[in-house]
Structure 1
Amino acid sequence: MAGEHDRVVCIVNPASGVRRRRTIARRLAAELPEAQCWFTRHPGHGVALGRQAVEDGYATVVAVGGDGTLSEVANGILTAGGEKVRLAYVPAGTCNDFARGQRPVSNLGGLLDRTQDRETDVGTVTFTRPDGTRDHRYFLVSCTVGLISVIGQRFTEKTPVNRVLKRLSLQLAETASSVRTLTGWRPVAVRLELDGEPSDQVITNLAVLKVPYFAGGLTFGHAQPPQAGRLDAVRVAGVGRLGVVGLMWQVFRGAAAGHPAIHRQEVRRVRIDADSPLPVEVDGELVGFTPAEFSVHPSCLKTVV
């Protein structure tokens, strides 16, 4: 367990998810009474708080929220040079794909147990901002370019309709966002480079994954993470609108394994560009546009769920 001099801070997104907020608050007070609690106030605030936690000397930083909250806190830790800081995660959001397939601790005090630490690869993406400048972000879950990034934008909109649909079913909300997006979607021509091998492709979507799940537990038919030091590059070929609808239905049903439009490859580096810039989504947040390049950060994070 953590020593008496270890300092713990919880970075909580009070707007994350649609359920369990009061339950999480009660559990934090009862099971991690020694922890400080900081609350995010706006998108991106988790980055600043993660950076502040490193600068203030906290040994364990607990991200409480969804994958977006976790990603922000991780970015703050890494930009502050805090690779030795422990990053714990309490999955309390709408989508908690980083923790999916793991066994969360039964008591949040277990997050202080250093024997539960694991070394976690961190992806890094370099992208283009709307003003044309280049920037980078770290990611722990997934990045998308193409159809799913647009659907993701619709899915994360905090509208009354979205809130109601998510309370009923995540899959129902995802389906509604997908239908709205598909009405105007066309496959796009891109220049793709996988581990230095260039090619011209017509794609519907490119996903670059550190975990096999996205959008609340969906997969492309493969439920294993990539090897350490690798990324999963999953390309969906440029199928027509009806083909996309059929493929998405299979993805929602968990029956996408072996679909001929899905092409998966474990790689160290991915680069994508297009004549018309495409949006780039990183851990559920639209951060910029192509051209974009994805790789694995040389340092790992110590994580516990």
Structure 2
Amino acid sequence: MDTTPTTDPTDSAGTTDPTVRRFDSISLIFNPHSTGNAPDLAAKLADQLAQDLPYTPEIRMLPTAHAGHAVDLAREAAATPNALVVSVSGDGGYNEVVNGVMAAGNTDTVCAVLAAGNANDHQRTTARQPLARAIAEGQVRDMDLLHLTTGNGRDAEALYAHSYIGFGLTPVVAIDMEKGNKGALKEMVSVVRSFAKFRPHRITHTDGTRAKIDSLLFANIPQMAKHATLSEAEDRPADGKFEVILFPHTAKWRVLLKAFRATTTGLGDQPSVARYEFITLKPIPYQVDGEVRSAPANTTVRIESAPSALTVIG
């Protein structure tokens, strides 16, 4: 993705730094009915940028009107050259913005997220500095995405994820914990309840072998749900690979023990791949950055790394 700035910022030696950006437009996309105070956070960021930036971009406040609207708003914002699109939201809202920008095609758009909501795993694990300061300094970087395809041919559906894609129990439990913001004891009660209702899923791998799984998670970030450390990989999310965290079906107390390990010492090193494929045998629910969906039976599911697919700041 092209990261050439409109102007030519130079360092002390007088050489051009191609990673420094000054934006012609900055779009702030937010849910006006957010429980995470997104409208106020968006307004404060807009005011701070208008005051602190050494140049004068067009700053747009773009409230969403319905679920999925952020995809359309982000795609339209990305049609403007040299644009920054900021999602003032949690992980789900940022997922919509990322998919909207990717749907716009090969643009020079930069993305960012300002945490607002319960689930902010991506911002928490990837942010390097306060967003307003990062925008003022203009230092951008490339980030991998996860690319999910379900089905084949004309019936195939594709989505991008910035953080994780999960099938089975682990993401269900994690999101249940995240929504509550309840404290350790009540979160553990949520875990136990999820276990009580959960049934394992069967899938077929590309080599023809069948597997009975409790959880299958593909991660582009090392942590989720505030407490769970999924992997010790250091280069994510810009190494062209993602981690695969597989829980084969076993006694529920063993899975609970693994979940407890994830929230304390972490799960340790996990396999890192660029592609993973399997076939569902029955309908299976899954989550993309926390948003729940479902894949039908007898469907090919393919997860691929999209290396350096997105340019980000923050």
Give the TM interval when normalised to the shorter protein. Answer: 0.7 to 0.9
State whether structure 2 residue 261 is matched by structure 1 residue 250. Answer: yes
State whether structure 2 residue 33 is matched by structure 1 residue 24. Answer: no
TM-score (norm 1): 0.80
> Alignment partner of 2:65: what SS?
coil
> Alignment partner of 2:270: what SS?
strand
Contact kept? 2:213, 2:248, Cα under 8 Å: yes
Q: 1:66 to 1:126 in 2, by over 3 A?
A: same
**Runs of 5+ unmatched residues, structure 1:** 157-161
Across the aligned residues of Structure 1 and Structure 2, the Cα RMSD in angstroms comes to 2.9
Q: Which residue of 1 aligns with 2:169?
A: 147
Task: Tell me the CA shift for residue 293 of structure 1.
Answer: 0.6
Task: Tell me the CA shift for residue 107 of structure 1.
Answer: 6.0
Tell me which amino acid in the other structure corresponds to 1:134.
A
Q: For residues 165 and 173 of structure 2, what CA distance do their matches in structure 1 show?
A: 13
Contact kept? 2:201, 2:284, Cα under 8 Å: no
Q: Which residue of 2 aligns with 1:159?
A: none
> Alignment partner of 1:71: what SS?
helix
**Runs of 5+ unmatched residues, structure 2:** 1-19, 51-57
Q: For residues 101 and 308 of structure 2, what CA distance do their matches in structure 1 show?
A: 12
Tell me which amino acid in the other structure corresponds to 1:219.
T
After TM superposition, list the pairs within 5 Å mapping 1:220-231 onto structure 2: 220-222=230-232, 224=234, 225=236, 228-231=239-242
Q: Which residue of 2 aligns with 1:181?
A: 194
Identity of aligned residues (%): 26
Q: Which moved more, 1:70-79 or 1:222-231?
A: 222-231
Q: For residues 55 and 107 of structure 1, what CA distance do their matches in structure 2 show?
A: 23
User: Which structure has the greater CA radius of gyration?
Assistant: 2
Q: 1:25 to 1:89 in 2, by over 3 A?
A: closer
Q: For residues 65 and 163 of structure 2, what CA distance do their matches in structure 1 show?
A: 23
Task: Tell me the CA shift for residue 56 of structure 1.
Answer: 4.0
Q: For residues 309 and 223 of structure 2, what CA distance do their matches in structure 1 show?
A: 20
Q: Which residue of 1 aligns with 2:53?
A: none
Contact kept? 1:277, 1:291, Cα under 8 Å: no
For these two proteins, the number of residue pairs brought into alignment is: 283
- Residue deviations 1:68-124, cap 9 Å, x none? 11111010011111442011221222122222344453361532433x211101110
Task: Tell me the CA shift for residue 248 of structure 1.
Answer: 1.8
Q: Which residue of 2 aligns with 1:214?
A: 224
TM-score (norm 2): 0.78
Q: 1:295 to 1:172 in 2, by over 3 A?
A: farther
Q: Which residue of 2 aligns with 1:235?
A: 246
State whether structure 2 residue 30 is matched by structure 1 residue 12. Answer: yes
Q: For residues 60 and 179 of structure 1, what CA distance do their matches in structure 2 show?
A: 42
